[in-house]
Structure 1
């Protein structure tokens, strides 16, 4: 650790900081992931996740055990160079999806879309989504293809087999925008 060699007053400060931040991130993931899995299961989006349901205010024990097994599997593999590209791909997919959603909401001019950042522009969202895809390909084109295919399969499965929810739909926004533009053109 190069930073530790120049740390003041002692290199132990940087080493302890790295260890504590790593433990903090790990504990955050181990407590956040089961709750997210339980929330997805409670929404009945994917029927296969029904075992991870838990009532509100109750700790999701089965989801925690499942998350622990995934973490243990990654630790048992023991090769961080093999695991980190896969995890990075899924984080970049998440960030790219958020940026793509922001871009589409701006493009469709959805009435419920009201970004609060004063410098917001649709081009930032599009650039962010494209940058995530480019970075994914720069890291590993094979993992990128697999990640995009897996995300597409999950999206297709949820749209075909998943329980219908009232969360809105991009196509409904597109139809709404077309109708609104048509009404405005009438004068």
Structure 2
């Protein structure tokens, strides 16, 4: 069994999404000794934006397809995913490999994977919030992975830019959600 961990936050040791991906992978590996953990830091080793020559390199999709569980750190930048994460997604959403088009519409081909996404957002974008319509992080990732045939699981840390107390509360809440993943 292989766990692929992706981090896309630019804030390094101050990253809330990295705090959550650390906790998730620690919990997964503790529960499943012997799991292979592959870590890809999309900031330390960024992928180039997709071009036709880049598209020919299959190493990223091969790594994705070889993993049983994918853990993604996804901070919200300007209402959506960081460009580093988008460059990775562009490499794994490939017709004929992770989805196919049919006469009845697209069909995802990757339904046998577990995808866990650690979201961190500076404000509050949940249902009923004043900024709900600005939320394009969770909705985008749900759409992309759903298109590939996977229903992702999410843990959340919201309001981390509101102030130090809310940041601490958001991290604590996200870590509680991590623990609940094992339940």
> Under a length normalisation based on structure 1, what TM-score does the superposition of the two structures give?
0.25
> Under a length normalisation based on structure 2, what TM-score does the superposition of the two structures give?
0.26
Higher helix share goes to which structure? 1
Higher strand share goes to which structure? 2
**Structure with the greater alpha carbon radius of gyration:** 1
Which structure's relative contact order is higher, taking Cα pairs within 8 Å and 6+ residues apart?
2
